[in-house]
């Protein structure tokens, strides 16, 4: 049975060979100690990645700095989130605060560039990140606006929130899963944080040769949009692998779309091309 049969047909994926999960190369844990949230007994933390992002944490709100690609992509990510989650929760996407009354968690929130617009759209937002410098930057920036000052930022992990029995209407992890040590455990935690019939949104990069050429060779080495070494191609997931991992964690993917960059306009748009960057929305089927 095809893995992607539940994905809305208006986002055609086409025939793709599914790679067995045992071939995915998870990144090993590192013994490097950093000023970050402590790992729980079963953790998806990758200490090497934490050190890497801690080094550039001060640049989160520099629109021309290392996170420039995320700043440019953010409106397109938010368009997908507004569309899918308003439909999921029966909200009007044309209102200014469609997520009023809903609890969201932004896992791997970084400096808060996703958490803040979600709060402005009315959601009660918790932002979590394992890098304490990211949380410091996020709090300082959020405090500049009374609306975003309500965001609860915590230096912790998804696994720790599960241990605290936290639950949210929607769980979001954008451009995070490619940086964790164990995507399966990470997705399990995301599922456990999602209420039954709640929503989960994940975006990442496809493990394709085109993604290697564009997201690593071009973005990191030729155009220098990102620091060299930001991504490891072997840690990317194909859409089929992500769907299967989520299914095993009781999250059923409902819709998927690709992000396509237009070098002439300098902007991103949603597309049915999931060959490089893609985003997926799913529902928690049962507790």
Check the annotation: does 178 bind a ligand.
yes
C-alpha pair distances (Å), 62 with each of 5, 47, 58, 150, 266: 41, 24, 8, 22, 17
DSSP 3-state of 265? coil
Check the annotation: does 14 bind a ligand.
no
Check the annotation: does 222 bind a ligand.
no
| Beta-bridge partners for 279 | 203, 257
Closest CA to 189 of 207, 177, 175: 177
Calpha distance 276→247 (Å, rounded)? 22
Check the annotation: does 129 bind a ligand.
yes
Check the annotation: does 229 bind a ligand.
no
Tokens 């091309």 sit at which residue?
A: 273
Calpha distance 168→284 (Å, rounded)? 11
The CB-based long-range contact list for 71-77 (8 Å cut-off, 24+ gap) reads: 71/113, 72/266, 72/267, 72/268, 73/259, 73/268, 73/277, 74/113, 74/114, 74/117, 75/268, 76/259, 76/267, 76/268, 76/269, 76/270, 77/114, 77/174, 77/203, 77/259, 77/279
DSSP 3-state of 81? helix
Check the annotation: does 116 bind a ligand.
no
Check the annotation: does 100 bind a ligand.
no
Quote the Cα angle for 28-47-152, to 5°.
130
Binding-site residue set for Mg(2+) = 175, 178-179
Binding-site residue set = 77, 108, 129, 174-175, 178-179
Binding-site residue set for S-adenosyl-L-methionine = 77, 108, 129, 174
């Amino acid at each position: 049975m095809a893995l992607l049969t539940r994905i809305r047909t208006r986002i055609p994926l086409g025939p793709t060979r599914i790679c067995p999960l045992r071939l995915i190369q998870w990144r090993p844990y590192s013994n490097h100690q950093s000023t970050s949230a402590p790992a729980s007994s079963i953790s998806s933390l990758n200490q090497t990645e934490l050190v890497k992002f801690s080094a550039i944490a001060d640049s989160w709100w520099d629109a021309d700095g290392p996170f420039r690609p995320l700043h440019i992509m953010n409106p397109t990510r938010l368009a997908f989130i507004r569309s899918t989650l308003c439909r999921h929760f029966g909200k009007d996407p044309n209102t200014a605060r469609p997520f009023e009354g809903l609890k969201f968690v932004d896992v791997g929130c970084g400096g808060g560039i996703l958490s803040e617009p979600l709060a402005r759209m009315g959601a009660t937002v918790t932002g979590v990140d394992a890098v304490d410098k990211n949380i410091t930057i996020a709090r300082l920036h959020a405090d500049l606006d009374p609306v975003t000052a309500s965001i609860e930022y915590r230096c912790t992990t998804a696994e720790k929130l599960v241990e605290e029995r936290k639950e949210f209407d929607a769980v979001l992890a954008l451009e995070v899963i490619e940086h964790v040590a164990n995507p399966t455990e990470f997705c399990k935690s995301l599922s456990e944080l999602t209420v039954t019939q709640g929503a989960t949104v994940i975006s990442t990069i496809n493990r394709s040769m085109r993604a290697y050429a564009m997201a690593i060779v071009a973005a990191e080495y030729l155009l220098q949009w990102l620091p060299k070494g930001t991504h490891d191609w072997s840690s990317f997931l194909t859409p089929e692998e992500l769907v299967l991992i989520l299914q095993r964690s009781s999250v059923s993917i409902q819709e998927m779309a690709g992000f396509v960059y237009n070098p002439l306009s300098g902007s991103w748009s949603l597309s049915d091309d999931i060959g490089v960057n893609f985003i997926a929305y799913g529902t928690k089927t049962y507790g």
